[in-house]
Amino acid sequence: MSSTVNRLGVVGAGQMGNGIAHVAAIAGMSVTIVDAQPAVLERAKGVIEQNMARQVKRGLLDEADKAGAKSRIALAGDLKALSDCDVVIEAVTEDEKVKVAIYKQLCPLLKPGAIVCSNTSSISITRLASATDRPARFMGMHFMNPVPVMKLVELIRGLATDDATFATVTELAKRMGKIGTVSEDFPAFIVNRVLLPMINEAVYVLYEGVGTVDSIDTSMKLGANHPMGPLELADFIGLDTCLSIMQVLYDGLADSKYRPCPLMVKYVEAGWLGRKVGRGFYDYSGETPVPTR
Ligand code: NAD
Q: Is the peptide bond before 260 cis (omega within 30 degrees of 0)?
A: no
For residue 91, CA distances in Å to 20, 21, 72, 262 come to 9, 11, 19, 27
21 and 126, same domain (yes or no): yes
Mean pLDDT of 129-150: 97
Distance CA 284, CA 181 (A): 34
Pocket probe for ligand 1: among 241, 247, 277, the residue whose CB has the most ligand atoms within 8 Å is 241
Could you read off the pLDDT of 13-35 as tens digits, one per residue? 999 999 999 999 999 999 999 99
CA of 284 to the centre of ligand 1 (A): 20
What's the pTM?
0.93
CB 173 within 8 A of CB 24: no
Looking at 183, 207, 241, the residue that finishes a domain is: 183
User: Same domain for 163 and 228?
Assistant: no
Q: Give the model confidence (pLDDT) of 26-79 as tens digits.
A: 999 999 999 999 999 999 999 999 999 999 999 999 999 999 999 999 999 999
Instruction: Enumerate residues 6+ apart whose C-beta is below 8 A from 41.
Output: 13, 33, 35, 75, 76, 77
DSSP run (H or E) holding 154? strand 152-157
CA–CA separation, 150 vs 233, rounded Å? 14
174 part of a folded domain: yes
**36 with 120, same domain?**
yes
When divided into structural domains, the chain yields a total of 2
Is 205 found in the same domain as 107?
no
CA of 113 to the centre of ligand 1 (A): 25
Asked if the model's pLDDT at residue 278 lies above 90, the reply is: yes
Residue 154 appears among annotated catalytic residues: yes
Q: How far is CA 281 from each of CA 31, 115, 210, 215, 244, rounded to the nearest angstrom?
A: 34, 38, 16, 13, 17
Whether residues 197 and 179 fall in one domain: no
The residue contributing the CA closest to ligand 1 atom 16 is 36
Confidence band of 2 (pLDDT split at 50, 70, 90): confident
